[in-house]
Amino acid sequence: MSIQVESSVGIKSYISNHNGFSAIIKQRYSDFLVNEIGQDGETVRLTSLEVVPVPTSVKNTIDTETQPSEIKDEEMELLKLLSGQMSLEQVKPSTFIIKTTGNDYIRKDFDMKNFKKVQINVDNVSKERRTVLHMYLKSKFPNLNCVTMDCDSSKYIVVTKKDGDSTYKRRVSWPASQRYLTFVLYKENIDTIDAVNIIQGKLKLKQNMLTYSGVKDKRAKTSQLVSVRQVAPQNIASAMSNFARIHVGNFTFRSKPLKLGNLLGNNFQIVLRDAKVEDSDFEAAVKSLKEKGFINYFGMQRFGSVNLSTHLIGKAILKGNFKEAIDMILRPHPADSESMLKAKRIWESKRDASEAFKTLASSRNSIEKQVFGALAKHGTSNFVTSIEKLPRNVSLMYVHAYQSYIWNSVVSKRIEKHGLKVLPGDLIYKEAKYKTILGNSGESKDEMKIGICDHDTFLEDCCDCEDLEDIDKSPVHVLSEDEAKQFDITEIVMPVPGIKSKYPENETKDWYSEFLEKDEITFDKLKHKVKTFRVGGTYRKVVIRIPNLNHFSCYYDDPTLPLLQSDLDVINNVDVSCNRLEHGKHKAIIVNFSLPTSSYATMALRELMKIETSSQFQESLNQTTSSTSKDSDVDMNGKKINEETSDNGIESNKRTCDFEENMNGKKMKT
């Protein structure tokens, strides 16, 4: 089931006829720099590691320092005792002394065990003033409840303990406008999900407490924004102080958290090593890419690694063959660790999930381990539940990969038959139609900053609406014959198949059916009986142009030395320019460009180079270099650092970490 070539996932066509050339993509993770582009159009960079203090709370409208006159001193002490702010020994003796007759005072016994409430008489207090008292008490004693009640012809504010919270906990009140700490996450050779999980684990935070706009490449040096609610910068900085591959900085405070899709795109700086191309041929290739663009394919990393073809698992799920899907996930592969191979062999021979799971007791929490755990808990034949129990982004990954395969296949056929021609019945975003009607041909501020503009629209993955076929609210418009003459191929979108997708009103709609039927799948099966795998669909630009591509060439002798200066290098004053030579053994081409959030840099490079981007092919190019150059990098002092390489070339994370961003990304700004 290994992915051998691009054609196996529908990547077959090119749109230009310039000469291609050979070069190695991602020979080292330091050859691939990614910087997020925020919704404000600014490129996210790590420029400061300085830790800033938490925001100063704005003063409440109710003064919590001044005790209201309606609350007596004795009542205040009892409230502190009830809330846990004060112990019984700290309470003034006078609080428990009552006057009898004359000058006789008797110490009142106090039953701490049955002390459950404090009553404050408010017979002569107005409703407005009682509201003020309630606000004061809630602010001063956040672990207590207070309610106004009538008792024995009198009115009281009755204060009691909250259930399950008998001890006093001081709550830090952050200003609403600064409630979310936002910081730059800089990482090296680790994917976003793993990096975020490490931070959450160090801080003992629950899953999904840290949020981000999109997932970045693993085999790269990347910078992106992350947000978390009411966590001090010092805590995060301290937690990551000894972690070499993760750095945090540029701390700010915002009123809202980040969500998936809250970005315009990404900026890429990429080294193409050991380039075999004449300058004139390269200039022609760049000109073609700028003018014609590239086919906006879902890249190879979308479809898993050599040991896990995610789209084939997705096909099995859509067909209802969950046993087949499980068997593919748990199929042994030579790249597996010793313990993983042992566990998979146990499953293969005995179908004993419990024994297989125990074998992985000390292993990391991989997809396979989670599947074994679910099978052991819910039954070795409960294949549906075992996949459903995976994290949502993982369980949906397989179906999304199959959707992407169909999209790639249909678009390849379209380009092969019609080239860059716009057809009657094609789809465009309604915004694009209005823009043309209004005669607004100028670029927006965001388009100029990122160089291109995309509008990928997310339709909910799981649809609860009764009328799933209602597409009147679709964001796309069908072009008439006359309208088709007014639009460019870069404005045409094709649907990623789903139950909410609207299809073109031309022959390309039939191609969707043809490719689905080859796999014995119909449109109806996309409305999966298992809700988890019921996907809505989305729309995707067919062609993307890159007018902002910049490049330069250099040479190098030592393939272990970095040629790009990362954000961390800038902070640490590490100069890599001396590694770029005017003459040397090997030629390198360094390219810099920006893409919208849903596009793959490797697919742009594919069109530029006319080269296969599958991991197997890139590995074959790497075989011409030494093992040292493939598997290690160097630190600031030139000392070699072992890389955790993945297929020695194009990233091949079997979780397909960028699927959330690509399938669920919001529309680009226009």
Count of Cβ atoms closer than 10 Å to residue 578 Cβ: 7
Q: Mind giving me the DSSP string for 612-624?
A: --SHHHHHHHHTT
CB 221 within 8 A of CB 257: no
CB 380 within 8 A of CB 352: yes
DSSP-derived pairing of the beta strands 538-541 and 476-478:
unpaired
- Residues for the chain: how many in total? 670
To the nearest 10°, report the CA torsion of 345, 349, 352, 355.
-40
To the nearest 10°, report the CA torsion of 426, 659, 651, 455.
40
Element (H, E) at 37: strand 32-38
Q: Clarify whether 123 is annotated catalytic.
A: no
CB 642 within 8 A of CB 630: no
Which residue is catalytic, options 40, 109, 165, 217? 217
In 3-state terms, what secondary structure has residue 351? coil
Query: Position of tokens 């925001």?
Result: 55
What letters, b where the CB count within 10 A reaches 16 and e where it falls short, cover 105-129? eeeeeeeeeeeeebebebeebeeee
List all residues 6 or more positions away from 180 whose beta carbon is below 8 Å from its beta carbon.
227, 228, 229, 230, 253, 254, 255, 256, 257
CB 482 within 8 A of CB 537: no
Q: Which two tokens stand for residue 426?
A: 């094609």
Element (H, E) at 539: strand 538-541
Q: Which two tokens stand for residue 370?
A: 């989670």
Count of Cβ atoms closer than 10 Å to residue 358 Cβ: 13
Strand partners, 99: 105
Long-range contacts of 135-140 (CB under 8 A, 24+ apart): 135/61, 135/62, 136/62, 136/63, 136/64, 136/68, 137/79, 139/60, 139/62, 139/64, 140/64, 140/79
CB 596 within 8 A of CB 452: yes
To the nearest 10°, report the CA torsion of 570, 192, 610, 429.
-110
The amino acid that residue 6 corresponds to is E
Q: Which two tokens stand for residue 471?
A: 């597409």
DSSP E strands, 357-502 = 427-429, 476-478, 492-496
Which of the residues are catalytic?
A: 217
